[in-house]
Chains A and B, each alone.
Chain A
Amino acid sequence: MADDSLASHRRDPIKSSVGNVAAQRRRQNAATVGKERRESLVRAKRLCRVGATGEGDVLVEENHMMTDEEGFLLEDQTSSAVKELKSAVVYQGKGAMQKRVNALRELRRLLSKSEFPPVEAALKAGAIPLLVQCLSFGSPDEQLLEAAWCLTNIAAGKPEETKALLPALPLLIAHLGEKSSLPVAEQCAWALGNVAGEGEELRKVLLSQGALPPLARMVLPNKGSTVRTAAWALSNLIKGPDPKAATELIKVDGVLDAILRHLRKSDEELATEVAWVVVYLSALSNFATGVLVKSDALQPLVERLATSNSLQLLIPVLRSLGNLVAGDSHTTSTVLIPGHEITDGVIKVLVKCLKSDHRVLKKEASWVLSNIAAGSIEHKQLIYSSEAVPLLLRLLSTAPFDIRKEVAYVLGNLCVAPATGEGKPDLIKENLVSLVQRGCLSGFIDLVRSADIEAARLGLQFTELVLRGMPNGDGPKLVEQEDGIDAMERYQFHENEDLRNMANGLVDKYFGEDYGVNE
């Protein structure tokens, strides 16, 4: 706040004496010297790196050499808050309810105050049985809510801390029911979401105790934070790896409709959570994937991709789309028919993602395209003639490795005809010639050099196409120009037999003794 006198605004006179300035500079100089020395020391450390990661086990010293007062204070307060809660729970006199709520609120405050909630102290002091008791049926909402909130933050702790909630799970699930007030149900869903996020084992427990149906019913209404929280919790619950939960979810009455409705109409935050549900549905359950594809789920996904700029939302939506395309051949063959509006829409949003600044979007859009490009000749031609190809070519030469690999799949798929059976796939010559002319070969040769087996194989496969398929026998010359021979010769003694044979076979076949004789 301003000083009482505004007149304090005064600049330094131009005519000043040297003493103060000089002392100031000298001190700054000392600080700068220290800073420079620090920098040169760190630089030296950076340059002289030793080995990969030394795995030396150093004894963990178990001494409390210092007191982080704040941490201890919080832990102390927590222990006494639990003690207070204990006495409030047994107290039966006048104002017992208020006393319990106050004690709960105090504990909840402590647990939600810092980024490192004193969960351990709360557990050690015996909070769980008390909190379970506070969740008993017929308790006032305020009490339920505070107790569930405490449990939520305890569940957000380390794995074994989350596990400590086991005795509370049946009651938390019970309070999800229709008879509970919305805030209570939401808080319980939140706690359960944290539990489900911990891992497979706890998810199994939750599913066996029947957490899924009530949570699923919570996502049916049109809006509200409760829906979002429930969707989030569900997405954690159906993560698998067992696909049963995902299949069960999509079968719950009204859930499919609600998902489609939220994808179409809800705000971005809710749509984001719902999109994650769709990601897991489509990633795990063939049944769910089939149902979603048949119910036109593609349409709202494409719309979201076209209209939103929220990365949070775009990532799960794009991945859902990709899963639907990759997971069910029905999608490509009967929904994304070339010439249909939806198909053009998909290509358009994928192009948008290719243009985005975000690596994940570029990578996954390429992945989706690669799967569409694996479809019919018409699909290949559709992509081939779209705006995607120039973008893909650029990405192949400039993008980070993981994107290039996905891009290579797309371009590779564009050059081969749909597989008919065993043996080498047939070429689509004009695509191959034109893409090679536009400079894609060097990108593939780069992949041949990669340490990633899958990428290297892809590079070799494409090289094979070029060697075999370029007209006038130009293939070998082109490959040689891009240093392809050198790249392939590295596989001469490679440990991976498949790659070794492939590379050696190509070198022998196309660059054998006769190579270059004709010139």
Chain B
Amino acid sequence: MASRPIVSGNDNRKNPKFSLPSVCVYFETPCFVGDLFELVKMAMEITQFLLAAQSADAKVRTEAETNLRQFQEQNMPVFLLSLSVELSNEGKPVESRRLAGIVLKNSLDAKDAIRKEQLVQQWMAIDVSIKSQIKDFLLKTLGSSVSEARHTSAQAIAKVASIEIPRKQWPELIGSLLNYMTQQEKPASLKQATLETLGYVCEEISHQDLVQDEVNAVLTAVVQGMNLADHGPEVRLAATKALYNALEFAQTNFENEMERNYIMKVICDTAMSKEVEIRQAAFECLVAIASAYYEVLEPYMQTLFQLTSNAVKGDEETVALQAIEFWSSICDEEIELQEFESPESGDSGPPHSFFIEKALSSLVPLLLETLLKQEEDQDQDDTIWNISMAGGTCLGLVARTVGDAIVPLVMPFVEANIVKPDWRCREASTYAFGSILEGPTVEKLSPLVQAGLEFLLNAMKDGNNHVKDTTAWTLSRIFELLHCPANDFSVISPENLKRVLGVLLEGIKDAPNVAEKVCGAIYYLVQGYEDAGPSSSLLSPYLTEIISCLIATADRTDGGDSKLRSSAYETLNEVVRCSNTAETASIIAQLLPVIMNKLSLTMEIQIVSSDDREKQGDLQASLCGVLQVIIQKLSSTDETKPIILQAADQIMLLFLKVFGCRSSTVHEEAMLAIGALAYATGSQFEKYMPEFYKYLEMGLQNFEEYQVCGITVGVVGDICRALDDKILPYCDGIMGLLLKDLASSELHRAVKPPIFSCFGDIALAIGEHFEKYVPYALPMMQGAAEICAKIETSDDEMMDYGNQLRRSIFEAYSGILQGFKTVKPEAMVPYAQHLLKFIELVSRDSQRDESVTKAAVAVMGDLADALGSNIKVMLKESAFYDEFLGECLQSDDEQLKETAGWTQGMIRRVLVL
């Protein structure tokens, strides 16, 4: 056991081959003479193209767009420069200037992360001299006399700032903007535009991109802009809106009591401005503060209560709505705090200030008052948002925040108003009761509901439409929240089910708005019997009647729009889905031809106008939805599956006809139903592929309606599982389209994760035949993995997207690795290192989602399982996975533990090979 020789130095060496990042720009070259000539030429022609691009004539428009695109392709830098020249030129028409600004702005940012990164790279590759000219023109435009030019310029500046400020490439921007603000003699229009720009810039960048001095200066300028004594209303409004955007930015300032006090005082003063628009903007700031700075609000709550209370009671509706929204936002915060509060460790997490609880006795009466401010026809229109609706919504949130404590404050109002002759009182009373059903305990609520149920059932015969509407809605809330036979609890006894259903099936014949709410009540009533064991039999005797009532409701023609019909069909779907399969299979089997017949009748609808086509499409969508649910239901047991198999040819024929009608909504629902059918038929689905394939292609190419594309991607997965390697003849086409989808900047990003998962589905189905796609698919996966690393962690929505993306990339790898395992594992060896790095990166992210963890652990095992000794060295070099596996093995999630155990076994196997 003496001294042993040197451990070879050769391992653990980082990749010896570097590639320079493309952002490295060594030289700045001036704008060449050739460019200048092009610029002059472009500048002369661009106005007419920009104007033509807005023409009402589609032909003129297309031609102009082509011309603009040519400019862009010829010389991007000069194109952007000429747009900025156009925007800044006071002699040009407003329309061309505005569009120039918008095109410029859109050349700098996109919703899709991949596309956005391309645009950023493109901008950074432009010569510095050209960029600085563009920026000068933009800044100059802020002084324009045309407000639209100023506005678009402000937006474009913010986009440039979002690229350059984090890279420290535009250090003088903030100084220039502040300079506009501090000079007394500058016109109000310039100051207004400058404030708007500051607001947008704050929204685009992180406060960490600036030094604190700059943050302070920006905030000072904005807050001073709100000052009544110094500025007119335009500037103050712009300043208040800018502050709204800058709030996230002011974190450090909000930590400092003095600065916080000052900012809050200015906002509160502004909330009492003479101009209603400014008051509204100030209240919007308060709403944002409620979310962003909940933990420091304590000292201001007294004032804020007064302010919001006055606004709710007496201000214009737009302001009052924001005042209610302030309290709703406080509820959101407290509900979130309560949800995250772990019972074991009471000390961690931000403090809960119990604002709602403390304000409860004044807040609840304030909100109850709002309920009496209904509008005459508010129930006819879903898009209406008014004080009483906002108040009821807020009351519901308050109930979820404080639970039982709200009940004694609301019940006297309910009881006092429920019998009054004025319909407003009865409606408000019922609305109040319905609003507080979520939050308080079942013990507290169920005696009240038991006592009131009969009253509510009777109120379905009230003389007033609104009262009936709200009553039906309240019943649906009761069934949603207090009716759970699967857990042996319900306010409805087997005895009064008949009476309840009687009232509902009568009520569904009432006015369309009431009928729609009744659908909701039936929906939740039947949902309660899902998986309810013997209790689910309670519903079976009524099933036929419920179904025929719902179909009759769907057939009504007095609904005006398709809302009632789609509610009726969706309720029918829930009835089918939740029914006791064994007892009701024959009823559902009879429903199948009825719905198929209805669907085939839609082909005969005469189409004269685009309106007709839309109606046909909506109806087909609903009916395809019902078919999807019936197929799912009946194919779930071996006894009932033959019913679907016998009808499969006819069903498929119908779907193909629906595709033939070419309405995109139909496309979506028919697609979804086909996914269910493929699962039911299994490999038999092969015979439909020759006919169906072209629609699959159409779906995958539908960039504009990304949901259609997304659903089609999901159906590809269903078909892969149904057909296995029989899908092979179609794979070249499908993979080609999927890759195009991934590369497209037009396609909504939401579809991209499912596409990666779909790679996994395809690879699982066709095994080693996936090899020829590897050189195309893997770079995409690696690229996406790198994007994950760059995703902004402060943005919840982006985080969520990042998690989806990471999970789907892992799923793709898992499918490919498992598909290659027995025959072609070495094809994946060149990609193993990158995958391991990616897993490592993910494992180090403490914020990762549990589902991402699962996928990461699983793919790690797949890697070891499939590649075996090929990756022994790589695994030995990886320091991270022990810890990661250890974490997973200690999880409470059994499935995760099991997967982690399997992965550990696979890795051990590799290491001892």
The chain B residue sitting closest to A63, CB to CB, is: B772
Q: Are A327 and B6 in contact (CB under 8 A)?
A: yes
B548 to chain A, nearest CB (A): 19
A56 to chain B, nearest CB (A): 5
Residues facing B in A11-67 (CB within 8 A) are 11-19, 22-23, 26-27, 30-31, 33-35, 37-38, 41-42, 45-47, 49-54, 56, 58, 60-61, 63, 65-67
Known: A2-B245, A17-B382. A153 touches B879 (CB 8 A): no
Residues facing B in A347-375 (CB within 8 A) are 357-361, 364, 367, 370-371, 374-375
Q: Are B2 and A419 in contact (CB under 8 A)?
A: yes
Q: Is the interface on chain B under 10, 10 to 19, 20 to 34, or 35 or more residues?
A: 35 or more
B823: interface (CB < 8 Å): yes
A170: interface (CB < 8 Å): no
**A71 vs B632: C-alpha distance in the bound complex, in angstroms?**
42
**A115 vs B21: C-alpha distance in the bound complex, in angstroms?**
9
Known: A66-B739, A276-B13. A402 touches B876 (CB 8 A): yes
A88 to chain B, nearest CB (A): 15
Q: Are A112 and B566 in contact (CB under 8 A)?
A: no
Q: Are A30 and B732 in contact (CB under 8 A)?
A: no
A46 to chain B, nearest CB (A): 6
**A42 vs B768: C-alpha distance in the bound complex, in angstroms?**
16
**A295 vs B160: C-alpha distance in the bound complex, in angstroms?**
54
The chain A residue sitting closest to B517, CB to CB, is: A17
**A458 vs B434: C-alpha distance in the bound complex, in angstroms?**
75
Chain B residues with CB under 8 A of A402: 876, 911
Contact with A56, one of B393, B775, B823 (Cβ below 8 angstroms): B823
Known: A11-B328, A17-B520, A66-B735. A112 touches B24 (CB 8 A): yes
A53 to chain B, nearest CB (A): 5
Contact with A69, one of B17, B743, B782, B824 (Cβ below 8 angstroms): B743
**A116 vs B779: C-alpha distance in the bound complex, in angstroms?**
8
A1: interface (CB < 8 Å): yes
The chain B residue sitting closest to A326, CB to CB, is: B6
**A60 vs B287: C-alpha distance in the bound complex, in angstroms?**
62
Q: Are A145 and B26 in contact (CB under 8 A)?
A: yes
**A53 vs B464: C-alpha distance in the bound complex, in angstroms?**
75
B258: interface (CB < 8 Å): no
**A409 vs B155: C-alpha distance in the bound complex, in angstroms?**
66
The winner among A115, A142, A419 for most chain B CB atoms within 10 A is A115
**A1 vs B241: C-alpha distance in the bound complex, in angstroms?**
13
**A319 vs B13: C-alpha distance in the bound complex, in angstroms?**
11
Residues facing A in B816-861 (CB within 8 A) are 818, 821-825, 858, 861
Q: Are A190 and B241 in contact (CB under 8 A)?
A: no
Chain A residues with CB under 8 A of B280: 7
A504 to chain B, nearest CB (A): 21
Known: A53-B825, A374-B2. A360 touches B12 (CB 8 A): yes
Chain B residues with CB under 8 A of A319: 7, 9, 12
Q: Are A7 and B318 in contact (CB under 8 A)?
A: yes
Q: Are B12 and A315 in contact (CB under 8 A)?
A: yes
A400: interface (CB < 8 Å): yes
Q: Are A14 and B396 in contact (CB under 8 A)?
A: yes
Known: A15-B389, A283-B9. A193 touches B16 (CB 8 A): yes
A126: interface (CB < 8 Å): no
Known: A9-B325, A19-B516. A156 touches B815 (CB 8 A): no
Chain B residues with CB under 8 A of A452: 912
**A38 vs B19: C-alpha distance in the bound complex, in angstroms?**
38
A37 to chain B, nearest CB (A): 6
Chain A residues with CB under 8 A of B125: 109
Chain A residues with CB under 8 A of B136: none
A194: interface (CB < 8 Å): yes
Q: Are A190 and B18 in contact (CB under 8 A)?
A: yes
Q: Are B16 and A194 in contact (CB under 8 A)?
A: yes
**A283 vs B519: C-alpha distance in the bound complex, in angstroms?**
79
**A194 vs B814: C-alpha distance in the bound complex, in angstroms?**
33
**A319 vs B8: C-alpha distance in the bound complex, in angstroms?**
9
**A45 vs B761: C-alpha distance in the bound complex, in angstroms?**
12
Contact with B22, one of A112, A196, A322 (Cβ below 8 angstroms): A112
**A38 vs B203: C-alpha distance in the bound complex, in angstroms?**
40
Chain A residues with CB under 8 A of B876: 402
Q: Are B26 and A183 in contact (CB under 8 A)?
A: yes
A257 to chain B, nearest CB (A): 22
Q: Are B736 and A1 in contact (CB under 8 A)?
A: no
Q: Are A13 and B393 in contact (CB under 8 A)?
A: yes
A155: interface (CB < 8 Å): yes
Chain A residues with CB under 8 A of B523: 18, 22
Q: Are B629 and A152 in contact (CB under 8 A)?
A: no
Residues facing B in A263-321 (CB within 8 A) are 276, 279-280, 282-284, 311-312, 315-316, 319
B345 to chain A, nearest CB (A): 23
Known: A6-B284, A52-B868, A413-B1. A14 touches B18 (CB 8 A): no
Known: A53-B869, A66-B739, A359-B879. A58 touches B570 (CB 8 A): no
The chain B residue sitting closest to A27, CB to CB, is: B672
Contact with A30, one of B287, B628, B861 (Cβ below 8 angstroms): B628
B333: interface (CB < 8 Å): no
B718: interface (CB < 8 Å): yes
Contact with B883, one of A17, A22, A145, A357 (Cβ below 8 angstroms): A357
A14 to chain B, nearest CB (A): 4
Q: Are A112 and B732 in contact (CB under 8 A)?
A: no
Q: Can you list, as one digit per residue, whether each of B374-417 has a CB less than 8 Å from chain A (1) or not (0)?
A: 00000000100100011011001000000000000000000000
The chain A residue sitting closest to B866, CB to CB, is: A53
Chain A residues with CB under 8 A of B200: 1-2
**A457 vs B331: C-alpha distance in the bound complex, in angstroms?**
67
Q: Can you list, as one digit per residue, whether each of B467-491 has a CB less than 8 Å from chain A (1) or not (0)?
A: 0001001001000000000000000
A154 to chain B, nearest CB (A): 10
B783: interface (CB < 8 Å): yes
Q: Are A42 and B764 in contact (CB under 8 A)?
A: yes
Chain B residues with CB under 8 A of A37: 679, 718, 721
Residues facing A in B506-564 (CB within 8 A) are 516-517, 519-520, 523-524, 563
B10: interface (CB < 8 Å): yes
28 CB contacts below 8 A, A to B, read A11-B325, A13-B390, A13-B392, A14-B396, A17-B516, A17-B563, A19-B563, A26-B625, A27-B711, A33-B632, A33-B679, A35-B757, A37-B721, A58-B823, A68-B775, A113-B22, A115-B19, A115-B783, A115-B786, A152-B19, A156-B18, A193-B18, A312-B14, A316-B12, A360-B12, A367-B7, A374-B2, A409-B1
- Which 3 A-B pairs give the minimum distances between C-beta atoms? A197-B16, A283-B9, A18-B520
Given contacts A46-B865, A198-B17, A413-B1, 19 further A-B contacts (CB under 8 A): A6-B244, A7-B280, A13-B385, A17-B382, A33-B679, A46-B902, A56-B824, A65-B772, A67-B736, A69-B740, A70-B743, A116-B779, A156-B17, A157-B17, A193-B18, A282-B6, A315-B12, A323-B6, A409-B4
Chain B residues proximal to chain A, CB less than 8 Å: 1-10, 12-14, 16-22, 24, 26-27, 121, 125, 151, 155, 158-159, 200, 203-204, 241, 244-245, 280-281, 284, 287, 318, 325, 328, 382, 385, 389-390, 392-393, 396, 431, 434-435, 470, 473, 476, 516-517, 519-520, 523-524, 563, 566-567, 570-571, 573-574, 625, 628-629, 632, 672, 675-676, 679, 711, 714, 717-718, 721, 732, 735-736, 739-740, 743, 757, 760-761, 764, 768, 771-773, 775-776, 779, 782-783, 786, 811, 814-815, 818, 821-825, 858, 861-862, 865, 867-870, 876-877, 879-880, 882-883, 902, 911-913
